[in-house]
Structure 1
């Protein structure tokens, strides 16, 4: 009996120390990220932007020297004359251009610092496609306007079939289990369902049917267990990744004739939104040609845990592949170039291209990567207006709950970027916004630089590890 009392005291002491350590980690993180907090006394989401050139994105045009009036975070009016209103801050937009904020439709968010990085790069809404319990709490604080952040939407955990392909996925073994997960995710507050590799037809059918009943959209990373055309379904609102077209319907060949058939299938369906995520695949090539990529300063924008685990693992994987077969470098480059053709052909066929980066994993940095993604669409042959559509109106039209953004119109959310030059002529101006307006809150260029610097200096590896551990315990 004495032994058990000693053992109980020992375990209790260890648990107490563990609780103190966890509490300390959370307190430090709360203090370090406090720069994102919205001060109710000093922040307003009423704003007037005068004498600005408006790029509405409803058409390939510019409305010159307009005044945009924002009230309660919503665009109240767009006028040709400036009407000053007492108590509302006025920003002089002379010689500047006002565009809708960018939307990244495929990201992986690991901490609040990344939200600041998205804002600093003109991204005013993100679709997180790897949901963890932490994201529900994050979404709650963002929706309550407690912190400066892009509008935040998240899927639930990645749903896969019975075959185990990693602890970061949720394996489904039968249709009933699949349907119950959909009901649970909807009830808990996830915005979308994310389907992934390995889903069999029976399980996939159960997911689609329950998603329809539960009125929740599906984001599809194509499953290799069903035909690619299986993903042309009204409940599936977007199909992800250009490389999966090569890997599945083209069977790893860069076959232009087979691609023509796939493009025709997309066009015949007529409702598909396609998210290419070109930059994340191109980053494989960057890891192959740059042996020191992990040591570059820009890699400090990655979450410390992801950098230590995922970035390192991906780099080693591709370096080992190169050691075993030197042709892998030219093969990856050739496939990336083929991805550009995929985007061009789909766009020409009238398929709705939506911008997504897969940022937050590997060496794909949050925020900044969107500019490379847009550059690739330009290289593919899209006009600047078509490129901008992918990250504004096209993205916003993908889901009903995002339809209140993406253009500059009355009654839309005031998610805007103020630019020094015209992005319809030069896309590079998007990389350095003069200011960002998020839900009517004006973020100066100085504040945007602070957001970058704070993210660069963060050290929250243990904090992120705790949230990932929580996911493993809760979702399995």
Structure 2
């Protein structure tokens, strides 16, 4: 008995030590992102300004309002006019530059708070996180309470899958009653949306849709192959993700533009449906096969170290080996990407609202930086610069009611804005490296934004990320 007690003491001591090490690891990582904290006693935290001599791109119409003044009061756009007189606040000279709504990335996977700075540095002032975990609820709370500089933050709960999709990244549903309970739980805990994924059969999917409607939670759908693709054209489903799913499911990998038109026509009949193509993440498969040293490239130092070690490496190995086994795989992937561009073109021509999403945070798809590549693909698909910008501003903001305060420069809207040197309606590259980023009226200059990049580069938080993911497995599985 004494031996047993001694062993138990040792076990409890080891557990206590591990818990202590875990707490210290998380504290150190949290301290590493102190640069995002808002000190409300400092002038940088001010969210009231008068911007003068600025050209406004409102994005509620295809125009430029030349030589305007914009009054931002406590984070909200109070007035836009030729002349505004207000006393006691800072005046910013727009220097004849261009003021645009901040960009919105509607499909991201956030792994740590360093990434929030990367999004801001690239002009992304709102994100829709589509793989929810407990840590995202804490980020959301800090953003809502204005404790940190961050894009406006919206998140689904854990992705809901069918019973056969076993894996630590899936929340498997077996029965309709279990599905309803999960939706209720996610609503109660503060997740914004429901994400459906592979493997949901009709009975379980119906239960998710029914309860989501009762709980007033919008659904974001990665199409399930267990139901017809047209089944996702439901008023509770606000967006469908990935152009590649059109290729994989209704087209069965047949890159046939005539068959595609039939699918596009069916989508266009449902006016509530928006499509998030995420072209850049699939194109990155091609980039991995074309560059054998991509994992060692400088841009990959912006990826979360755990994701780079695990997911990035696995994806690279998969496609490197596929190329070795069959060299024609490279051209097949390139052809499919080109067809995805055609899908965007056809969806746009049919009047289906495109919303910009990148799938950033997985593989080699960089947080923040990737949105500019995604927008360039939409331009390649034949959209005008104004139509391209709509995908990451007004189209995105109209997807969910809780995002309606974003996406345009209008009186009463949230002041999530970019000040850029040149007119993005002429050149989309003007959106890169904005001079100022405003998040709920708070101004970040280029030096601060560049520092966010440097802080995130080569960060050493692999263990902290693993602990947060372990928390997710304990709580959500």
How would you bin the TM-score normalised by the shorter chain?
A: over 0.9
Question: In the alignment, which residue of structure 2 is the partner of 1:423?
Answer: 424
Question: Mapping of 1:378-457 within 5 angstroms?
Answer: 378-457=379-458
Cα deviations by residue, 1:211-243 (Å, 9 ceiling, x for unpaired): 001100000000011100000000000000000
Separation in 1 of the partners of 2:130 and 2:183?
15
Separation in 2 of the partners of 1:136 and 1:267?
34
Question: Which secondary structure does the structure 2 equivalent of 1:198 belong to?
Answer: coil
Pick from 61, 78, 94 the counterpart of residue 76 of structure 1.
Answer: 78
Question: Mapping of 1:288-367 within 5 angstroms?
Answer: 288-367=289-368
Separation in 2 of the partners of 1:44 and 1:215?
35
Separation in 2 of the partners of 1:227 and 1:166?
24
Alignment of 1:55 onto 2:57? yes
Separation in 2 of the partners of 1:337 and 1:321?
20
Pick from 66, 81, 86 the counterpart of residue 68 of structure 2.
Answer: 66
Question: Which secondary structure does the structure 1 equivalent of 2:159 belong to?
Answer: strand
Question: In the alignment, which residue of structure 2 is the partner of 1:120?
Answer: 121
Alignment of 1:45 onto 2:47? yes
Could you list the structure 1 runs, at least 4 aligned residues long, displaced by more than 6 angstroms after superposition: none
Question: Which secondary structure does the structure 2 equivalent of 1:126 belong to?
Answer: strand
Question: Which secondary structure does the structure 2 equivalent of 1:103 belong to?
Answer: strand
Question: Which secondary structure does the structure 1 equivalent of 2:138 belong to?
Answer: helix
Q: TM-score, normalised by structure 1?
A: 0.99
Tell me how large the CA RMSD over aligned residues is: 0.8
Contact 1:161 1:198 in 2 (8 A): yes
Contact 2:165 2:198 in 1 (8 A): no
Contact 2:71 2:84 in 1 (8 A): no
Cα deviations by residue, 1:27-81 (Å, 9 ceiling, x for unpaired): 2112211011000111111111111000000110000111110111000000101
Cα deviations by residue, 1:333-387 (Å, 9 ceiling, x for unpaired): 0000001110011101110000000000000000000000000000111000000
Cα deviations by residue, 1:396-453 (Å, 9 ceiling, x for unpaired): 0000000011000000000000000000000001111011000000000100000100
Task: Kindly tell me the number of residue pairs found equivalent between the two proteins.
Answer: 475
Alignment of 1:19 onto 2:16? no
Separation in 2 of the partners of 1:164 and 1:122?
36
Deviation at residue 271 of structure 1 after TM alignment: 1.9
Question: Which secondary structure does the structure 2 equivalent of 1:131 belong to?
Answer: coil
Question: Which secondary structure does the structure 1 equivalent of 2:61 belong to?
Answer: coil
Contact 2:423 2:430 in 1 (8 A): yes
Cα deviations by residue, 1:161-196 (Å, 9 ceiling, x for unpaired): 111242101110011100110000000000000000
Contact 1:51 1:82 in 2 (8 A): no
Alignment of 1:155 onto 2:156? yes
Separation in 1 of the partners of 2:85 and 2:426?
30
Separation in 1 of the partners of 2:13 and 2:174?
40
Deviation at residue 84 of structure 1 after TM alignment: 4.2
Deviation at residue 16 of structure 1 after TM alignment: 2.2
Contact 1:285 1:333 in 2 (8 A): yes
Contact 1:65 1:94 in 2 (8 A): no
Separation in 1 of the partners of 2:12 and 2:244?
51
Question: Which secondary structure does the structure 2 equivalent of 1:156 belong to?
Answer: coil
Cα deviations by residue, 1:132-154 (Å, 9 ceiling, x for unpaired): 11111111111111110000000
Q: TM-score, normalised by structure 2?
A: 0.99
Which structure 1 segments of 5+ residues have no match? none
Separation in 2 of the partners of 1:284 and 1:165?
24
Question: In the alignment, which residue of structure 2 is the partner of 1:475?
Answer: 476
Separation in 1 of the partners of 2:143 and 2:15?
32
Question: Mapping of 1:94-133 within 5 angstroms?
Answer: 94-133=95-134
Separation in 2 of the partners of 1:288 and 1:48?
49
